[in-house]
């Protein structure tokens, strides 16, 4: 038997064992990821929830952008507020949110902290009403103008949350925030 011929078979055997090991490892890893909580079932659930949230957000945008009828804009409550607007009730807000709320505190919106609130104040957005009327693109523009560290924030729901706060829908806002804490379900 030729010595060089046996070396070739050793190398071929080593390569075949490596290929078989890779394939077996791949399938074992694939089966484990499908059975873990972070597997494909969770991904599909999150994708479905994301689709639902996008539809809710789009519906909310349409509601805020649709022109009000003249009867809506002219109808006033006894305190001079337009219909759909409520006088700020700190006790009602505290009861629903579980903490004291100051009127037009932008930090009540999930995702907005003191620094981001400062950015919005510097841009002239100082009230829930003002935040509820701007687009997500404008929110992103304000964040982007402050530098790269603010790009990680997703302001897609901020106008909607601000609208709920402005309209005094504290229970709805609290429920929404509980369901979407930091974007996690």
User: Average per-residue pLDDT in the chain?
Assistant: 81
Helix or strand or coil: residue 125?
Answer: coil
Lowest model confidence (mean pLDDT) among 29-33, 70-74, 95-99: 70-74
Residue 67 belongs to some domain of the structure: no
Residue 62 belongs to some domain of the structure: no
Residue 7 belongs to some domain of the structure: no
* CA–CA gap between residue 101 and residue 108 (Å, rounded): 8
Q: Is the pLDDT of residue 184 over 90?
A: no
CA distances from 80 to 75, 88, 90, 135 (A): 9, 13, 19, 27
| Segment 105-114, tens digit of pLDDT | 999 999 999 9
- What region does 109 belong to: left with phi over 0, alpha with psi -120 to 50, or beta? beta
Tokens 């949230």: give the residue.
53
Residue 88 belongs to some domain of the structure: no
Residue 160 belongs to some domain of the structure: yes
Question: What kind and span of H or E run contains 126?
Answer: none
Q: What is the pLDDT of residue 80?
A: 45
Residue 98 belongs to some domain of the structure: yes
* CA–CA gap between residue 34 and residue 29 (Å, rounded): 9
User: Stretch 58-66: mean pLDDT, rounded?
Assistant: 70
Residue 122 is part of which domain span? Answer: 94-185
DSSP 157: G
Residue 170 belongs to some domain of the structure: yes
User: Stretch 119-142: mean pLDDT, rounded?
Assistant: 93
Residue 119 belongs to some domain of the structure: yes
Domain count, the chain: 1
């Amino acid at each position: 038997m030729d010595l060089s011929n046996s070396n070739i078979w050793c190398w071929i055997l080593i390569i075949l064992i490596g290929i078989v090991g890779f394939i077996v490892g791949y399938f074992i890893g694939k089966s484990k990821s499908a059975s873990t909580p972070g597997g494909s079932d969770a991904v599909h659930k999150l994708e479905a929830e994301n689709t639902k949230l996008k539809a809710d957000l789009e519906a909310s945008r349409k509601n805020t952008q649709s022109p009000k009828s003249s009867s809506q804009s002219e109808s006033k409550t006894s305190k001079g507020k337009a219909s759909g607007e409520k006088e700020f009730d700190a006790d009602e807000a505290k009861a629903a949110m579980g903490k004291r709320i100051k009127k037009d505190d932008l930090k009540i919106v999930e995702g907005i902290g003191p620094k981001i609130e400062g950015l919005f104040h510097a841009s002239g957005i100082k009230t829930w009403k003002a935040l509820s009327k701007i687009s997500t693109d404008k929110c992103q523009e304000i964040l982007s103008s402050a530098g790269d560290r603010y790009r990680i924030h997703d302001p897609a729901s901020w106008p909607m949350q601000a609208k709920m706060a402005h309209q005094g829908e504290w229970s709805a806002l609290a429920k929404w925030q509980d369901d979407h804490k930091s974007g996690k379900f």
